[in-house]
């Protein structure tokens, strides 16, 4: 972690944890599995950002969660999901999926393709209520809605058709083409996390690449731009 200003800290992509087996390449922004760093236990309610690549036909067998808001965002390929609620779906690029684990949910995730890899982000956010009934939701957010602007895809108030989350946390996604520029204000008593999903982005003049995470600790005006194209996720947190 290298402090760049008084208000934000860069979490370099190359300092992430790594879980690598035959079918899985997983990079952990925060402590997860065998990767433990006491300075990386999460940020505010944000607990996990894993960048996963799964080989064709392989995946995570059935496993269980409780009291966690679990978000899946596919970057490339197709991810097949099944759970103990009876839900079965395929998550594609542009889709956002959320599970409220609540009192307990069991699910599996597999690469839907037998020929192409799948690349996705899995995000865990601590809920502000516990012991609720498990639930599942998935919606599609076309790229046109994210081009050159921050499109809310997860929000407690479901603004602009975003998926509900049981936490005072908002997730925005933006796709920027060369020459695009976005401004966002992190307000008083709020925090933010920027995750670079693809390409290269400039944050207030600082060049960042896919896999980098930026922890924003205080009110700040964010300026995002790119010369080559990028996709970013921005979390606005209590």
Question: Euclidean distance between the first and final Cα of the chain, in Å?
Answer: 22
Rg of the Cα atoms in the chain: 17
- Helices and strands, number each (H, E), in the chain: 0, 21
> Are residues 56 and 154 in contact, defined by beta-carbon separation less than 8 angstroms?
no
Domain ranges (residues) in the chain: 2-237
The SS3 call for residue 136 is strand
> How many residues does the structure list for the chain?
238
Among 6-10, 116-120, 122-126, the range scoring the smallest mean pLDDT is 6-10
DSSP 132: P
The SS3 call for residue 161 is helix
pLDDT in tens, 162-177: 999 999 999 999 999 9
Among 3-17, 67-81, 83-97, 198-212, the range scoring the smallest mean pLDDT is 3-17
The SS3 call for residue 196 is strand
Q: What is the DSSP string of 13-41?
A: GGGSEEEE-SSEEEEESS-BTTB--TT-S
State yes or no: pLDDT of 92 exceeds 60: yes
Q: Which residue do the tokens 């957010």 mark? A: 141
State yes or no: pLDDT of 90 exceeds 80: yes
State yes or no: pLDDT of 4 exceeds 80: no
Q: Which residues contact 92 (CB under 8 A, 6 or more apart)?
A: 74, 78, 140
How high does pLDDT run on average in the chain? 95
2-237 placed in CATH 2.60.120.10: yes
Please report the pLDDT score of residue 8 as a whole number: 87
Please report the pLDDT score of residue 98 as a whole number: 97
Please report the pLDDT score of residue 7 as a whole number: 78
State yes or no: pLDDT of 2 exceeds 70: no
């Amino acid at each position: 972690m290298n402090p760049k200003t008084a208000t934000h800290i860069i979490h370099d992509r190359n300092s992430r944890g790594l879980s690598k087996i035959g079918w899985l390449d997983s990079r952990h922004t925060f402590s997860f599995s065998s990767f433990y760093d006491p300075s990386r236990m999460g940020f505010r309610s944000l607990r996990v950002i894993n960048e996963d690549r799964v080989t064709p036909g392989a995946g995570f067998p059935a496993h269980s969660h409780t009291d966690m808001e679990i978000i899946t965002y596919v970057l490339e390929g197709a991810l097949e999901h099944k759970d103990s609620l009876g839900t079965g779906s395929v998550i594609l690029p542009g889709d956002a999926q959320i599970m409220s684990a609540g009192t307990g949910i069991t699910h599996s995730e597999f690469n839907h393709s037998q020929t192409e890899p799948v690349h996705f982000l899995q995000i865990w956010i601590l809920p502000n209520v516990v012991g609720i009934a498990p639930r599942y939701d998935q919606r599609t957010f076309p790229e046109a809605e994210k081009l050159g602007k921050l499109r809310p895809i997860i929000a407690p108030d479901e603004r602009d058709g975003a998926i509900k989350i049981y936490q005072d946390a908002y997730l925005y996604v933006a796709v920027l083409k060369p020459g695009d520029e976005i401004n966002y204000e992190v307000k008083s008593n709020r925090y933010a996390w920027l995750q670079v999903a693809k390409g290269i982005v400039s944050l207030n003049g600082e060049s960042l690449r896919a896999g980098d995470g930026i922890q924003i600790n205080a009110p700040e005006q964010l300026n995002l731009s790119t010369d080559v194209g990028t996709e970013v996720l921005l979390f606005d947190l209590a």
